[in-house]
Amino acid sequence: MAVCIAVIAKENYPLYIRSVPTQNELKFHYTVHTSLDVVEEKISAVGKSLGDQRELYLGLLYPTEDYKLIIFLTRHLH
Amino acid sequence: MAGSQWELPPELCCRPMAFVALTGLDVVYNAVHRAIWDAFCANRRADRVPISFKVLPGDHEYPKCRTKRTSYEWYIPKGILKTGWMNKHLNLVPALVVLFYELDWDDPQWKEKQSECATKVEIVRTSLQGRNTKVAVVLIQKKTPLPPGEDLVASERASSLCNACDLSGKSLFVLPHTDHLVGYIIRLENAFYEHAQTYYYTEIRRVKSHKEFLNKTTHQLLFVRHQFKIAFFSELKQDTQNALKYYRTAYSLVHELRAHETNMLEIKTMAGFINYKICRLCFQHNTPLDAIAQFRKHIDLCKKKIGSAELAFEHAAWMSKQFQSFGELFDEAIKLGLTAIQTQNPGFYYQQAACYSQERKQLAQQLCQAGASYPSPDPLDTQSGGLDFYGQRPWRQGHQSIDPPDAEKEKTGILALQIKERDVPHSELIIALLSNAVAQFKKYKCPRMKSHLMVQMGEEYYHAKDYTKALKLLDYVMCDYRTERWWGLLTAILTTALRCAYLMASVKDYIIYCMELLGRASTLKEEQKGRIEKNLLKVLMNEVPDAEPECDPSSVSAARSLWNDRVALSGSNEFTIEVQDYIPFIQCKAKFFSPSFHVDQPIQLQVFLRADCPHPVTLNKLAVSLSNQEYNQWCVVESSGQESMSLIPGKTKCYNFSFVAKTEDVGKKIEMTGIEVMLGSDRGRCVFLSWRGAGGDAASNHEALQASRSSRRWGRGMETRPELDWDNLIMQHSTMIISRVPKISVQLSHQPPALNNEMYCISLTVQSQEEGVAKEVKLTAGLKPGQDANLGQTTHVTLDGSKVCDDTAPALLPDVPLGDLKPGEKLERCVYVRCVSTGPRVFLFHVAYSIDTTVEGRQIVCKCHKDETATIETVVPFEVSVKFVSTKFEPLDRVAVDIPFLLMTDILSSSPWPLVLASSSLQLLTMTSNTPQLQSQLQEVVLQTGECASECFCLRCPPLTSSNNTVATGQYLISWRRKPSSADSPLIQTTVTLPHVILESVPLYIHADLPSFGRVRESLPVRYHIENRTALVQEVEMAVEPSDAFMFSGLKQVRLRILPGSEQQMLYNYYPLMAGYQTLPQLNISLPRCPTTNTHTLRRFLPQRIFVKPQGRQLDDASIAAA
C-alpha cells in the first residue's frame, strides 16, 4: 500500500506531499528528503550518459528498513 | 555491564589461528631462549603462517579432557554453546606442544640428558591425556649440523631419542643456535603448522563422528553445537570455505530449534554469532553481496522474535547490535579495499542500529518504571560470576523446557534486568551510532541523509538535556533545510531548537527561533504562532515567557529559575540580530526610486515592511544606513507618542525617505549598507533586526523568481492587482548620483574625410539655453581617450590654424577656458586636427561649465557638461609614383654612370576634395640635373579626384669614387592644400623619398647627333661620338650595314683606336630613300679588347629610327584644286 506520495520541484523542494494520516508525517518528509541524495546522484549520472534521452522511471531507489521508494522523473512541471 | 551485555565476545570476533604451545623456554633469564621466542613472535608479517604461539612451563596443566561419552542415549544438552568453548580452543588447548631442550649430538652426558628429555615429554603427554594434541621436540644445539647423512652419530642418536620419547621422526627438530636463527624458525613454524592442521583435522573428524549418535528430538541443540564447532575448527585450520559451509548449516539449524519465550534469547544470541561469522567470512572471501544477503535474511528471520514482552528493550538492543556489528564488518572490508556505493554503505547499518537504540530507549522508558527496588538476592548473580551457555538467563541456567521452573524467580529476574536497563546511557549509545552513520554518509555523498542524522543527534542531545550541543547541531543543519525550502522539516527543527533555547534561558537564541517560527516559512498553526508571539512579546518586555509544550516538567522548573535570574539581570538587554540568513516574521525590502539621480533632484528611497505573524507588531524605529553616512540622518523614522509604527499582518507598509545629494558625490554610487528595525523598548528589551543591503531574506530570492515566472506566464492580467505585490517588489540597493542635465547645445561642422597631414578644421558652436549665466565654460577637445595607444602619437590638436603644427602638439587639449556664457549667447571656435596616420578616429568635444541652482530650497553650484563626439576618417590625399627611363623613354633597371636619363613622377589625387598643388621640387643626392635649372612643372595645378599630375626631369649621375653601385637619388617635395580652404591656410609639405638606383659603368659610350627628322632625297648628316671611358686604349671595329631605306656616304667599315678618356667622331651622310618611320642603317661596333661589351649593349644608346618626311613639292594649283 502506498503510504506517502510526494511531488518535488527541480530545485528539490516539495510541491506536494501527503501521507497516510495515521503515521508520523514528519518521518515521511525526512524519508523523501533524504532520498533526494540518491535521485540527484542518479540524475547526474544518467544525464551525463544520455543527454535528453534519459530514462524517466528511476524505479526502486533503495529499500529502507520499512519502506520502498519508487521515483519517477518528469520532463516539465510548471 | 549493561552496554557490554550485547557486545560480541572477542573470541568470536577475532580471526582464529592455530594454537601452538612452546615449553622448555626460559625467556626471562636465558638470552638464547629469549632470542628464539622473539624470532617466533616479534614482527610477524602477513606472509608467516597463522599461528598463535604461547610460552608455557614444561609442567603446565592443560584443561582436563572430560571422559568421552560412549552413548548419547540419556544425555540431554543444557544449552547450545558453552561460553568458554571458543576461548578454550583459541588459547588453552594447543594443537601442538613443542618441547625445547638444549642438547648437542656429541653431548658427553647424552644418556642422562636423553632420559631427562623423555621424562619432560612424558609430563606433557600426561597433562594432555585424552586429547589429540601432538607433541614435538626441538633440540637447541650450539653446533651447526652437518649435511644429512654425514653425521652418523647424529642419526643414530636421533633415532634413539625418538624411541626414548615415543616420537615419530617427523616430530623431532634441531635448532642450531647460529647466525640464521630467523630462517630456522620459519622452517620450524611451517612444520608446526602442518602438525596443527592435522590436529584440527582430527578434531573435525571427532566432532563429526558424534553425529550418528544424535536423535532429532532430544539433541536438537547438539546439531547446532556440532556444526558450529566443526566450522570453528575449520577456521582454526584456515579452511575458511568449509568453515563458511558449516556455519551456514549451523545457521539454518539454529532456526529449526523450537523457540519459546524462555530460550528465545539463547537462539537469537547464537543466530547472531553464527550470522556474524558468516558475514565476516563472506567479506573475507570478497563476496560482499552474499554477506548483505545473509544479513538481510538474518534480520528478516529474527526481527519478530521479540521474546519476553517485558524485556522487549532487550530485543531492540540486540537488533541494534546486529546492525552495528554488520556496519563495522562492512566498514572493515572497505578499509581492506572493498568499494561501497551511495545506496549500499555502512552508514545505513549504523543508522538502523541507531533506530533500534532509539526504540530500545522508548521501550525502556515504557517498561522500566521507576520506584521498584532492586531484588535481593541478586537474581542475575551466578556462582561462577558468568554464564555457562551463551544467551541463557542467570536464574535458570541449563533450563530448556518451555515454562520457567519458578515463576517468582522469573519475575525478580525480569525486574532486575529492567532496573539495570534504566541505568543504560541510551542517548550516549544512540549519538555514537548516529555519529558513525554521519561519517559514512558524508563519505558517500548523502548530504541530506547526513543532515537528517544530525537532526536526530541534536534531538538526542536535547533528550539527554545537553542543550548546548543540541543547539549547535540543529543550528548547523537548519540552513540546509532553509535553502532547500523544506518548511515542514525546518519548522520541526526550529521547534526543538526553541525548546532548547527556552530550557537554557538563552534569550538571543529564543528570540531568533521565535522570529522564524512566526515567519512565513513556519508551518505552525495560527494558535501556536499566537502563543509564540505572546511569548516573544513577554521577552521584549523583559518578562519570563511561558514554557514550551512537551518539555519535561522538571526541566521546565529549572528553566523558570534560569529565566528569573536572566530577567533580574540588569544591562545586556540589547540584541542585534542579523536576520538576512533567516526567514524572519518581519520582511523588509528597500529600493531607491531610480537607479540614478541628477544632483539637482532629491534622492528618494522607500522601505517596505510586512509582518507575517498573527497579531500586529509595533516597531519603535526604522533606520537605513547608507554608504555615505552623512545621509543616514535623513533616513530614520522613530515612533513618537502620538504616532506609533505598527505593522498589520499581511499588509505592506511603505516608508519614504528623501534627501539632497552633495555636489562632491557626483559620479559616485550611494548604496544602502543596511536596514535596522527596532522592536521592544529601552524599558524592556531592545531587539534590532538588521538586514544587510536593501533587505530580503533566505527565501525572498526564490519567491521573487517564482513571482516573475508566474507573471510572465499569466501575462498582463495580473499586473492590475490592487494590493502592492510583495513578491514582485524588486530591491534596488544602490543609485548613482549624476551631474545635472546641461542646457547648452554643442554643434560640430567639418568636411570629412581628413587628409593625411593636413590641418583639418572642425568648427564648434556652443549655445547656452540656461536661464542663468553659464560660468567658467571650458572646452576639452581632441582624441577621445581609450582608443588605440598609437593614435595618441599620430594625432595633434591645436587651436592655431595659421601654421602647420609640429609633433609636440598634444592629442587632446584639456580645459581650454572659453569664459562665461550668458543666456542664449553663442560662441564659436575652430579646432585644428592633424592626423599623421590614416584610419578612423573618434574625437571628443567636452564643454563643461558651472551654474548656480536651487534644490528643495537649497542653493547649490552644479557642474554640468555636454559631450559631442565625431568619428573622422583620415585618407591619403594623393599617391605619388616615380620611374626612371632612358632618354629614349625606355624603362631602366639600372642607370649608366655619367649618361643622362629621365626621372618621371606622377601625382594621382585620391582626395574627394580638389587639391591645389602649389609647387614641387627635387632635392637630389648624388645625382645632378642635366638641365641648368630645375623648375616645377605643376605650379598651382588643381587636381580633381582621380586626376594625375606628372613631371619629368633629366638627370645624370656623375662618375663616382665609391665602389658602391646602389645610390640614393634624393627626395621629391610637394607643397599642397585643400582647394576650398582659404588662401591663408598653411601649405602642407609632402616629401616622397625617391627610390635608390643601381649604377653601372660603361667602357664605351656612343651617341649620335642627328636632326630630328629627315626628308626623302635630302642629305641627313649623322655624327657618331665614341668615347673611351676606360683607362686603356680601346680598339674599336665599326661597320655600317646596308639599308634599303638609305644610301649613305662615309666609312663603311673601319678599325680605329681611341685613347683613354678621349672621343672619336665619325661622320656619315645618310640619304633617305623612303618616307615614314625608317630604321636607320645599323651600326655594328665591337671591342676586341673588351668582349663583355658587344654591339647590342652599345646600340641601346643610339637612336634606332628616324622619321623621314616625303620629298618637298612646290604648291601648285592642280593639287589645290584636287584637294
Percentage of residues in chain A with pLDDT exceeding 70? 68
The tens digit of pLDDT for each residue in B588-635 reads 999 999 999 999 889 999 999 999 999 999 999 999 999 999 999 999
Per-residue pLDDT for B999 more than 50? yes
Chain A contact set for B437 (CB, 8 A): none
Chain centroid, CA B857 distance in Å: 56
Angle subtended at Cα B649 by Cα B645 and Cα B652, rounded to the nearest 5 degrees: 70
**Dist. CA B673–CA B884, nearest whole Å:** 78
B336-394 confidence digits (pLDDT tens): 999 988 888 999 999 999 999 999 999 999 998 877 889 888 888 888 888 899 999 99
Helix (H), strand (E), coil (C) string for B351-407: HHHHHHHHHHHHHHHHHCCCCCCCCCCCCCCCCCCCCCECCCCHHHCCCCCCCCCCH
* C-alpha B917, offset from chain centre: 68
* DSSP per-residue codes, B423-451: TS-HHHHHHHHHHHHHHHHHHTT-HHHHH
The pLDDT, as a whole number, for residue B701 is: 85
B446 touching A (Cβ < 8 Å): yes
DSSP three-state, residue B89: helix
Q: Within a 10 A sphere around the Cβ of B428, how many other Cβ atoms? A: 13
pLDDT tens-digit readout, B881-913 = 999 998 888 888 888 888 889 999 999 999 999
> Which of B1063, B1062, B1058 shows the shortest CA–CA distance to B1090?
B1058
Which of B204-213, B230-239, B1054-1063 holds the top average pLDDT? B230-239
pLDDT tens for each residue of B423-447? 899 999 999 999 999 999 999 989 9
Domains of chain B: 1-213 (3.40.50), 214-305 (1.25.40), 307-368+396-457 (no CATH), 465-571 (no CATH), 586-707+726-738 (2.60.40.10), 744-869 (2.60.40.10), 878-1000 (2.60.40.10), 1004-1109 (2.60.40.10)
The verdict on A46 touching B (C-beta cutoff 8 Å) is no
pLDDT at B715 > cutoff 60: no
pLDDT tens track for B14-30: 999 999 999 999 999 99
Of B519-528, B594-603, B1032-1041, least confident by mean pLDDT is B1032-1041
Nearest CA of chain B to the CA of A64: how many Å? 8
Interface test with A, best of B352, B441, B449 (most A CBs within 10 A): B449
Closest CB from B447, B492, B713 relative to A37: B447
CB A29 within 8 A of CB B488: yes
Strand, helix or coil at B791? Answer: helix
A–B interface: beta-carbon pairs under 8 A: 50
C-alpha cell at B3: 552496554
Indicate the pLDDT class of residue B2, thresholds 50, 70 and 90. very low
Per-chain mean pLDDT for chain B: 89
pLDDT of residue A77: 44
pLDDT in tens, B482-500: 999 999 999 999 999 999 9
d(CA B821, CA B767): 8
Strand partners, B140: B102, B175
Residues of B in contact with A33 (CB under 8 A): 448, 452, 484, 486, 489
Measured distance CA(B884)–CA(B877) in Å, rounded? 24
Start-to-end CA distance of chain B, whole Å, equals 154
Residue B370's pLDDT is 75
In A24-43, the residues whose Cβ lies within 8 Å of chain B are 25-26, 29-30, 33-34, 36-38, 41
- Which chain A residue's Cα is nearest to B706? A78
What's the CA gap between B537 and B877, in Å, rounded? 87
pLDDT band of B1083, cuts 50, 70, 90: confident
- For cell 643622362, name the residue: B900
* Closest listed residue to residue B949, CA positions, set B910, B986, B892: B910
Residues of B in contact with A34 (CB under 8 A): 446, 448-449, 452
B445 chain-A contacts, CB cut-off 8 A: 37, 41
Residue ranges of domains in chain A = 4-73
User: How high is the pLDDT of residue A53?
Assistant: 52
Q: How far apart are CA B348 and CA A62, in angstroms?
A: 11
CA B197 distance to own-chain centroid: 58
| Residue at grid coordinates 562632491 | B664
Q: Taking a C-beta distance cutoff of 8 angstroms, is the pair B205, B132 a contact? A: no
pLDDT band at A59 (very low <50, low <70, confident <90, very high): low
Q: Please, how many CA atoms are within 13 Å of residue B549, restricted to the half-sphere of its CB?
A: 5
Are B578 and B584 within 8 A, CB to CB?
no
Q: Among the listed ranges A12-21, B262-271, B640-649, B764-773, which one has the minimum average pLDDT value?
A: B640-649
Q: Which position has the higher pLDDT, B966 or B673? A: B673
What's the pLDDT at B627?
A: 94
Tens digits of per-residue pLDDT, A43-55?
777 665 555 555 5
Indicate whether A78 pLDDT > 50.
no
* Measured distance CA(B220)–CA(B258) in Å, rounded: 9
Q: Is B477 on the interface with A (CB under 8 A)?
A: no
pTM for the complete prediction? 0.72
Across the interface, of A14, A41, A78, the residue whose CB is closest to B486 is A14
Residue B1001 above 90 pLDDT? no
Contact A13 B489 (CB under 8 A): no
Q: Which residues of B touch A38 (CB under 8 A)?
A: 342-343, 446
B178 pLDDT exceeds 80?
Answer: no
Q: Say what the pLDDT of residue A54 is.
A: 52
**How many CB atoms within 10 Å of residue B166?**
12
Give the model confidence (pLDDT) of B700-711 as tens digits. 888 888 888 877
A26, A29, A37 ranked by CB distance to B342: nearest: A37
- Quick one: cell of B949? 599630375
What is the percent of chain B where pLDDT is above 70?
96
Which spans in B774-872 are helix H? Answer: 789-793
Rounded-to-integer distance, Cα B86 and Cα B96, Å: 17
Buried b (16+ CB within 10 A) or exposed e, B97-123: bbbbbbbbbebeebeebbeebbebbee
Share of chain B above pLDDT 90, in %: 58
Closest by alpha carbon to B914, among B885, B878, B962, B861? Answer: B878
B956-992 per-position pLDDT tens digit: 888 876 667 788 888 999 999 888 666 678 889 999 9
Shortest Cα–Cα distance, B443 to chain A (Å): 13
ipTM of this complex prediction, to 2 decimal places? 0.91
Q: Given the C-alpha cell 532430544, which residue does it identify? A: B218
